[in-house]
A and B are shown apart, each in its own frame.
Chain A
Amino acid sequence: MHHLSRRSLSVTLLALIFSSSSVAFAEWQLDLTPGVTSISEQVFDMHRQMLYWCTGIGILVFGAMFYSMFAHRKSKGAKAAHFHESTTVEIIWTIIPFFILIIMAIPATRLLINMHDTSSPEVTIKVTGSRWKWHYEYMDYKGDDQIKLGFFSVLSTPLSQIHRPVLASGLFPKGVGKDEYRENGDYEPQGENYNLEVDNPMVVPVGAKVRLLLTSDDVIHAWWVPDFAIKKDAIPGFINELWFNVPADKPGVYRGQCAELCGKDHAFMPVVVEAKPAAEFDQWLAQRQEEQKKAELAASQSLDKTFTKEELMAEGEKEYVARCAACHQANGQGLPPTFPALAGSAVAQGPAADHINIVKFGKNAMPPFGSALSPKVIASIITYERNAWGNKPTDGVDMVQPRDVAQ
């Protein structure tokens, strides 16, 4: 269990304080992770080295202070000395720290040069941040630059685990979450990887140097996986480079988060990387390419099809809850003034073309979904929004087909 109950936590803490048992600390991570890559291990060593220097200097300085506070107190009859300068001493304690800094700077410089070397990668993936998801596009693998695989990576923790209002009046200050308030507090338990899980993780082969090209569609985000000790900003209009190489014996799932404030759902934008043995990666890549081709085909075919309202509404509700409810809320009430209500809204009941445009291209705080979602998904979401919560479109268009969206 990752989270202890309050009571057992207090008991554990008391036990810790009084018995100095270190067992319970296994539950908590107190220090930086050594990570899994050679870079992350060097970063960890550098961190530890700094920590030891600081601890050592701290013991000396604070030791002198505390000794002085105990020995040189007036209540013990101490008489103040009269010295108030000493050029020799002052020069010594200016020069010694300077040399300590040089000792710190040498390995730091070496390590930084190493981290900046993004040359000769085996895999190149373009990472695009947008509010509040990551897009991974495989650009190059072993010299093949025609991979044509790209997908979005979105938080998969359901809202029902996130929303746990403690007041019956709902989420302060706007009354949102009222529906979710439970007097007995039996909320859905939060899973082990709460807030650190996504629908489609980035998949990479182990034992290969992976280069990331980072950019953003809107605001600045930062891509960070602590186990690789790499973090860099994704900046709109610019490309940053980053690299990591997961050792062949360390396949696994590595988790991180967006590290730069990027607006409302900054806390809900995790990074998940799955490192697979090369053979499994090849298999995964081929399978995903196949799936993507099929999806593209289905999307283009969907333009010729006409779906029934029931089909669109069923898919629309599902997609709305997954994609839209974080801001506009499952009950369509939104979080005004930033995120307007859709129930009774002028857009959701106005001309269908305007409604489509906002969903496709975004507006103010709303990100564009035109490239993230297929026409069919957008059509079903719009159909759902135009009919749910008692909405009645004024133009009579209560159903939108994929081809209307693609136009």
Chain B
Amino acid sequence: MADGAAHAHHAHGDHHHGPRSGIMRWITTTNHKDIGALYLWFAFAMFLVGGLLAMVIRAELMYPGMQLVEPDFFNQMTTTHGLIMVFGAIMPAFVGFANLMVPMMIGAPDMALPRLNNWSFWILPFAFGILIFAIIKSFLGIAEAPNFGWTFYAPLSTKFGPPSTDFFIFSVHMMGVSSIMGALNVIVTIFNLRAPGMTLMKMPLFVWTWLITAFLLIAVMPVLAGTVTMMLTDRHFGTSFFDAAGGGDPVLFQHIFWFFGHPEVYIMILPAFGIVSAIIPTFSRKKLFGYHSMVYATASIAILSFTVWAHHMFVVGMPLAGNLFFMYMTMLIAVPTGVKVFNWVATMWRGAMTFETPMLFSIAFVILFTIGGFSGLMLAITPVDQQYQDTYFVVAHFHYVLVTGALFSIMAGAYYWLPKWTGRMYNETLGKVHFWSSLISVNLLFFPMHFVGLAGMPRRTADYALQFADFNWWISIGGFWFGLSQLIFLWIAYDVCFRKSGTPATAQVWEGAEGLEWTLSSPPPYHSFTTPPRID
């Protein structure tokens, strides 16, 4: 199969190998690197939009009392911030990495389904255009944006949802279609286009984590689509899935949502595991410790992720047996996750380490993600969770795993592969400034959230009691600082991508890097591997 694809390309001759010029290159492109770049820039744009919404939240929460926005608008901000960051920033960024790196890592010329690839990207700007349109309308005071939290619990989102809820449902459907097509493409590519000799257990861990992530996506995105469709029929077609008055159950919504939602959490972290598992060995100049157990741990986490969803629902009034089952299963997840962390530490152990920006972000990932893991373990303990549930302790927890976890791995990966993608070294000094500025501010932003949460501050509140005031002020400062720090990254990426500055990068780029992508030139040829390399 791999041979066939490569030969087919050769038969067409060289004039097909270069990109088209102008805007049509990007609209009609079927090239995995072009589409990967589109995904990454789109994700970064959404990251800035979602960040802007977070700035509104933090500005309002800086002092007790209502200063800037009214409470309903505040709820719209928390809702759209969550939706845009989860579906618009983190997920597309990882799909971008998959597009760029999977073919290069397995020795393929491109993704297996290039037209599907184009479509799955170009749906996204429209999906988020709809959502952003709703936000703009709300800014202008014309109509309110979705205001029920990114988890859109019924009946707040069904019977009491604003008219824009239907826009939101449409938008979620489009995101789901895009994700499913992207996932299919990854699976087909990995199963069919591997270079001869690359058995499954020889694949780089990033490819493994993405293969498992893709299966998770295919399993749960249809569940999300089902949830929003049930909402739609409840809202407009007289069904009562989530309305007790018609024989339904609002808690059913939460079961279905979290059956999607918990695997979704791992969709956002497994590729991150893959990225740091590529970076830490490079800068430790030592092979990844326990490759096999890393693969098994990733698979275990994915399988367990289907059996823990109701730990988001420890206070909905499940029977004792239900609460106990979900507590035990959730605690179990700590075992494979622990294995991963231990393996990363063992990889660093007795290596010969250097600390370039990708390594700094990766080390910060391991430490801060582990802190998020600790609070996750605490949240798993049902009796104590009934205190933590829906407080800022939870907000601190999932921002540690998603910002200092998923996002830091994305930053690490971007710095790691930017020289490969662009053929130029980024500005290392600025990269380090970006790292340290982000590291300090992100902890100022999220660490005190543990304290206010434990002290009793509920999440998603536009205002709070006075004992939370001091920490909230510092949290807001951390938030503004972290937000501004990301502009440094914008400049660094712009600098190498568009201003074409920086010294030319070698094919190897990093001294200790191993893998097929480093055998290609920097930047790689338009059709990455036209002749499949042989793996022994």
Contact = CB atoms under 8 A, between A and B. Distances in A.
Given A33-B456, A112-B324, A236-B155, A337 B142 contact: yes
Interface in B134-159: 138-144, 147-149, 153, 155-156, 159
A72 B345 CA distance: 12
Contact of B384 (A43, A57, A105): A43
B351 A68 contact: yes
Interface stretch (A77-85, A302-310, A379-387): A77-85
B461 A266 contact: yes
A363 to B, nearest CB: 11
B189 interface: no
B339 A90 contact: yes
Nearest to B512: A80
A101 B75 CA distance: 37
Contact of A338 (B144, B320, B382): B144
B244 interface: yes
Interface string A7-20: 00100000000000
A164 interface: yes
B381 A46 contact: yes
Contacts of A226: 387, 456
Contacts of A173: 69, 73, 138-141
B299 interface: no
B354 A73 contact: yes
Given A101-B334, A236-B155, A3 B389 contact: no
B428 interface: no
Interface residues on A, range: 35 or more
B78 to A, nearest CB: 8
A80 B65 contact: no
Contact of A267 (B156, B316, B355, B461): B461
Contacts of B70: 171, 174, 176-177, 264, 335
A57 B317 CA distance: 32
Given A28-B470, A30-B454, A98-B335, A54 B68 contact: no
B348 interface: yes
Interface in B319-368: 320, 323-324, 327-328, 331-332, 334-335, 338-339, 341-343, 345-355, 363, 366-367
Contacts of B384: 43, 46-47, 50, 108
B129 interface: no
Interface stretch (B39-47, B369-377, B482-490): B369-377
Contacts of B501: none
Interface string B235-277: 0000000011100011100000000000000000000000000
Contacts of A229: 386-387
Interface in A141-182: 161-167, 171-174, 176-177
Interface in A225-275: 226, 229-233, 235-238, 240-241, 255-268
Interface stretch (A189-197, A281-289, A317-325, A398-406): A189-197
Contact of B454 (A31, A86, A165, A263): A31
B292 interface: yes
B352 A74 contact: yes
Given A161-B65, A173-B69, A54 B454 contact: no
B334 A232 contact: no
B482 to A, nearest CB: 19
Interface string A93-112: 11001100100110011011
B162 interface: yes
B185 interface: no
Contacts of B515: none
Given A69-B363, A84-B287, A233 B317 contact: yes
B454 A162 contact: no
Interface of B: 63-73, 75, 138-144, 147-149, 153, 155-156, 159-160, 162, 243-245, 249-251, 284-293, 315-317, 320, 323-324, 327-328, 331-332, 334-335, 338-339, 341-343, 345-355, 363, 366-367, 370-371, 374-375, 377-378, 381-384, 386-387, 389-391, 451, 454-456, 458, 460-467, 469-471, 473, 512
In the complex, the 4 A-B pairs of residues with the closest C-beta atoms, listed nearest first = A237-B244, A267-B461, A240-B317, A29-B455
29 contacts: A6-B473, A32-B454, A43-B387, A46-B384, A47-B384, A50-B378, A50-B384, A65-B367, A68-B349, A69-B353, A72-B284, A73-B354, A80-B284, A84-B286, A101-B335, A105-B327, A112-B383, A173-B73, A173-B138, A194-B64, A195-B466, A220-B155, A236-B250, A257-B456, A257-B461, A261-B75, A264-B70, A336-B141, A365-B160
Given A108-B384, A115-B386, 7 more contacts: A30-B454, A90-B290, A108-B327, A173-B69, A259-B389, A261-B75, A266-B461
